Amino acid sequence: MIIWRRKDTEFSGAEVAEVGHFGLVIARISLDQAADFEASEPDWNDFFSPSDFARWAEFRPGPRRTAFVAARLALRAATEGSAYGIRDLSYDDRRPCLPNGFVSLSHGGSWAVAAYHPLLPVGVDVEGPRAQIDRVVARVASEREVANLDHRFLWGAKEAVYKAAGQAGLDWRLGIAVNSPREALALGQRFRLESMDWSDDRVVVAVRTPLRVVLTGPESTGKTRLAAQLAREFSCLWTPEIAREYLAEHGVSYGPDDVRAMARQQVARSAEMADSSPHLVVDDTDVLTHRIWFREKYGHADPEIEALPLEGDLYLLCTPDLAWTNDPLREHPKEADRNRHFELYKTELVKNKKIYAVVSGQGSARKMNALRTLEAFKALHLAKHRGAGDEIRLR
C-alpha cells in the first residue's frame, strides 16, 4: 500500500511518498492540476532554474508545456527539505541533474512524476494505456522478457533503468536485462524495481543497488573496527582492506607494482561483495587510499590507479583524533602527516564530487557518530529493518 501526503505549499496539488531504498522519494501531480497552476500565472523566472526557463520558453502553450511544468512541480515537492531543488536544476546531455543527489522526471497518461534520491542513481517512467506497446516491445526486449513480463511494465522498466544508468545510447535490448518485476541489470550493475498502478497508468521506478558505504581516511583512524561494527549493526557484508592480506602474504617490502596490484584487488573484492549484497555493503577503504598512498610514496600519480573508479555512494571520512597505534604496516606516525593526509582525503572527495561526512570521537562515540550520520542520510532505519523497497511510507 502506498500512502501519499499532499504538500502544503503555495500550490498543494503535488503528493509525496518515501519508497524505502535508503531515502528514495517520489512525488506526483496530475496534469490537470498542473494546468490549473499554469493558469494562475506564477512568476516563471522565480519558479524555474535558468536552464529550465530557457527550455520552457521554447514551448508553445499546450499539453507539452503543461507536462514540462508538472514534472517540475513534482520535483519541487520531492526535494522539499533537501539542500537543492528545482531552482538548481541543470542538464547533462539532456539528463536532469542537481549539484548533489539524483533525480528523474517523467510524464504520461494523466500524471507527472519525479523521483529523488540523495545517494543512489534513480530513474522513473510513467506509461499511460498504449496498445502499440504490444506491437513494438520486441524491438527493445529479449524473447524471454517479452514472454514472461507484462509488456507495459517491461517498457517502463527499460526506460527507468536507462535513466538511472545514465549512459547515453545504452541499448535497451542488449544492454538492459529485466530479470523479474523486482530486479534488472545494466552496465554490470543491479537495479531494484518498484512498480505501481495509478488508475490507468503504470509507473516504474529503478534504483541502483546496493548502497556502498566506504570508510576512508589516514592511517590509524579506526576504519577497520568501524567497518566491522557497522556490518554487525546492519547484518550486511563488509569488504576488508586488501593491503593487509597482500602484505602479510608477500612481505612488508613493496614497490609500485605491488601498490597497483593491491588497488586492482581492492576494486575486484569490493565489486564481488557488492554483487553479493542485496541492499547495503560497507567497504574498509577503497582505491582512493591507493591513489594517495602512491603519490605520497613515489612523488607522482600513477595513471592506472588514477583511472580506477571510486565506487562509494557515501564516504565516512575518519578523523585522525585517535591515538597512533604502532603497526609494521603503517608508515606515518607524525601528527602533522596524519592531519595533512586527512586534508588530502577531503580534497579528493570534493574533487571527485563524492558525498561524504566526517566521523570523529573516542571509543563507542565514534560508532555512534557514524550511526548518526547514516541516520541523517536515511540509511540507519531502513538498513536495520532490512526492508528497503518493501515498504512505502508516509513522508
**CA diameter of the chain:** 73
Q: What does the radius of gyration of the chain's CA atoms come to, in whole angstroms?
A: 23
Confidence of residue 213 (pLDDT cuts 50, 70, 90): very high
Q: What is the mean pLDDT of residues 47-53?
A: 95
- Residue 22 is predicted with a pLDDT of 86
Per-residue model confidence (pLDDT) at position 370: 94
Count of CB atoms within 10 A of residue 207's CB? 31
Span 34-38, average pLDDT: 93
Mean pLDDT, rounded, for 197-223? 95
311-336 mean pLDDT? 86
Q: How far apart are CA 107 and CA 73, in angstroms?
A: 12
- Indicate if the pLDDT at residue 392 is higher than 60: no
Cβ neighbourhood burial of 51 (10 Å; 0-12, 13-18, 19+): middle
List helix spans (H) across 170-323. 172-175, 223-234, 242-250, 256-275, 287-298, 303-307
Give the span between the Cα atoms of 162 and 191, in whole angstroms. 10
Q: What is the pLDDT of residue 37?
A: 93
pLDDT band at 328 (very low <50, low <70, confident <90, very high): low
d(CA 339, CA 262): 24
| Model pLDDT, residue 313 | 95
In this predicted structure, the answer to whether residue 348 has a pLDDT above a threshold of 50 is yes
Per-residue pLDDT, 193: 96
Look up residue 305 and give its three cell numbers. 590507479
pLDDT surpassing 90 at residue 329:
no
Where residue 382 falls among pLDDT bands split at 50, 70, 90?
very low
Residue 130 is predicted with a pLDDT of 86
Mean pLDDT of the region 306-335: 87
The predicted structure's pLDDT at residue 395: 30
> Cell numbers 515498504 correspond to what residue?
391
CATH number belonging to domain 211-384: 3.40.50.300
Q: Which architecture characterizes domain 5-210 according to CATH? A: Alpha-Beta Complex (3.90)
Question: What pLDDT shows up at residue 6?
Answer: 64
CA pair distance 182, 190, nearest whole angstrom: 10
Domain locations in the chain as residue ranges: 5-210, 211-384
Q: Residue-wise over 308-344: b if at least 16 C-beta within 10 A, else e? A: bebbbbbbbbbbbebeeeeeeeeebeeeeebeebbeb
Which amino acid appears at position 354 of this protein? K
Give me the DSSP letters along 241-278: -HHHHHHHHH-S---HHHHHHHHHHHHHHHHHHHHT-S
Kindly state the DSSP code that residue 377 receives in the 8-state scheme.
Answer: T
Q: Which among 329, 309, 228, 227 is positioned nearest to 268, based on CA atoms? A: 309
The whole-number average pLDDT for the span 153-179 is: 97
Average pLDDT value for residue range 49-56: 95
Do the Cβ atoms of 42 and 86 come closer than 8 Å? Answer: no
Binning pLDDT at 50, 70 and 90, where does residue 390 land? Answer: very low
* 5-210 and 211-384 have identical folds: no
Tell me the average pLDDT across 256-281.
95
Residue 170 host element (H or E): none
Average pLDDT over residues 361-365: 92
78-97 pLDDT per residue, tens:
999 888 999 999 999 889 99
pLDDT of residue 161: 98
Question: Average model confidence (pLDDT) for the chain?
Answer: 90
pLDDT exceeds 90 at position 388: no
Residue 365 has pLDDT above 80, yes or no: yes
Can you say whether the dihedral through the CA atoms of 372, 378, 382, 383 is positive or negative? negative
